[in-house]
Structure 1
Amino acid sequence: MRSHWTIPDLHGNAGSAEDWIRIKRSTLVLGVKKGLALRPNGRSAHFIAPSTSNGCAMACAYCYVPRRKGFANPITLFVNGEEIGRAIGRHAAAQGPLPAPDQIDPQAWVYDLGENGDLSVDALVCDAVRDLVALFRDLPNAKGSFATKFVNRDLLAYDPQGRTRIRFSLMPERIARIVDVRTSPMPERIAAIDDFVRAGYEVHVNFSPVILYEGWEADWRDLFRALDAGIGAAARRQLKAEIIFLTHNAALHAVNLRWHPKAEDLLWRPDIQEAKRSEGGQENLRYRSGWKGRWLARFRDLLAAELPYCAVRYAF
Structure 2
Amino acid sequence: MYLSRDVMNLDLFPPEPSAATRPLERLLRVSRIYLEPEAGLHPRGRDILARFPDAERVEVRSHWNIPGLHGNEGNVESWNRIKGSTLVLGMKKTMRFEPNGRSADFLPPSAANGCVMACAYCYVPRHKGYANPVTVFVNIDRIQAALRRHAGKLGPKREPNLVDPRYWVYDIGCNSDCSADAALSDNVRDQVRLFTTLPNAMGSFATKFVNRELLTYAPQGKTRIRFSLMPHAKAKLLDVRTSPIAERIAAIDDFVAAGYEVHLNFSPVVITDGWQAEYDALFQELDDTLGAAAKAQLACEIIFLTHNERLHEVNLGWHPQAEALLWRPELQEAKVSQMGGTNVRYRTGMKGQLVREFIQLLERRMPYCRVRYAF
Structure-1-length-normalised TM-score: 0.98
Higher Cα radius of gyration: 2
Q: Amino acid of the residue matched to residue 294 of structure 2? A: A
Pair 1:172-2:172 in alignment: no
Listed as ranges, the matches of 1:139-288 within 5 Å are 139-288=198-347
Q: What residue in structure 2 maps to residue 106 of structure 1?
A: 165
Compute the displacement of 1:30 (Å): 0.7
Q: Amino acid of the residue matched to residue 171 of structure 1? A: M
Between the aligned partners of 2:65 and 2:336, the Cα distance in structure 1 is 24
Pair 1:39-2:98 in alignment: yes
Pair 1:122-2:122 in alignment: no
Q: What residue in structure 1 maps to residue 18 of structure 2?
A: none
Q: What residue in structure 1 maps to residue 24 of structure 2?
A: none
Between the aligned partners of 1:105 and 1:289, the Cα distance in structure 2 is 29
Secondary structure of the residue aligned to 2:349 is helix
Between the aligned partners of 2:150 and 2:248, the Cα distance in structure 1 is 32
Compute the displacement of 1:90 (Å): 0.7
Secondary structure of the residue aligned to 2:373 is strand
Pair 1:136-2:217 in alignment: no
The one-character-per-residue Cα deviations of 1:144-179 (angstroms, maximum 9, x if unpaired) are 000000000000000000000000000001000000
- The runs of 5 or more residues in structure 2 that have no matched partner are 1-59
Q: What residue in structure 1 maps to residue 37 of structure 2?
A: none
Q: Amino acid of the residue matched to residue 74 of structure 1? A: P
Q: Amino acid of the residue matched to residue 334 of structure 2? A: A
Between the aligned partners of 2:273 and 2:67, the Cα distance in structure 1 is 41
Pair 1:302-2:374 in alignment: no
Compute the displacement of 1:101 (Å): 1.7
Pair 1:289-2:355 in alignment: no
Secondary structure of the residue aligned to 1:62 is coil
Secondary structure of the residue aligned to 1:243 is strand
- The runs of 5 or more residues in structure 1 that have no matched partner are none
Compute the displacement of 1:2 (Å): 4.4
Between the aligned partners of 2:330 and 2:61, the Cα distance in structure 1 is 41
RMSD of Structure 2 on Structure 1 (CA): 0.9
For this pair of structures, how many residues does the alignment match? 316
Q: Amino acid of the residue matched to residue 133 of structure 2? A: P
Q: Amino acid of the residue matched to residue 283 of structure 1? A: T
Q: What residue in structure 2 maps to residue 20 of structure 1?
A: 79
Q: What residue in structure 2 maps to residue 9 of structure 1?
A: 68
Secondary structure of the residue aligned to 1:151 is coil
Deviation above 3 Å: which 4+ runs of structure 1? none
Listed as ranges, the matches of 1:31-110 within 5 Å are 31-110=90-169
Distance change (3 Å), C-alpha of 1:53 and 1:266: same
Compute the displacement of 1:290 (Å): 1.6
Between the aligned partners of 2:123 and 2:68, the Cα distance in structure 1 is 21
The one-character-per-residue Cα deviations of 1:175-210 (angstroms, maximum 9, x if unpaired) are 000000000000100000000000000000000100
Between the aligned partners of 2:225 and 2:129, the Cα distance in structure 1 is 29
Q: Amino acid of the residue matched to residue 243 of structure 2? A: S
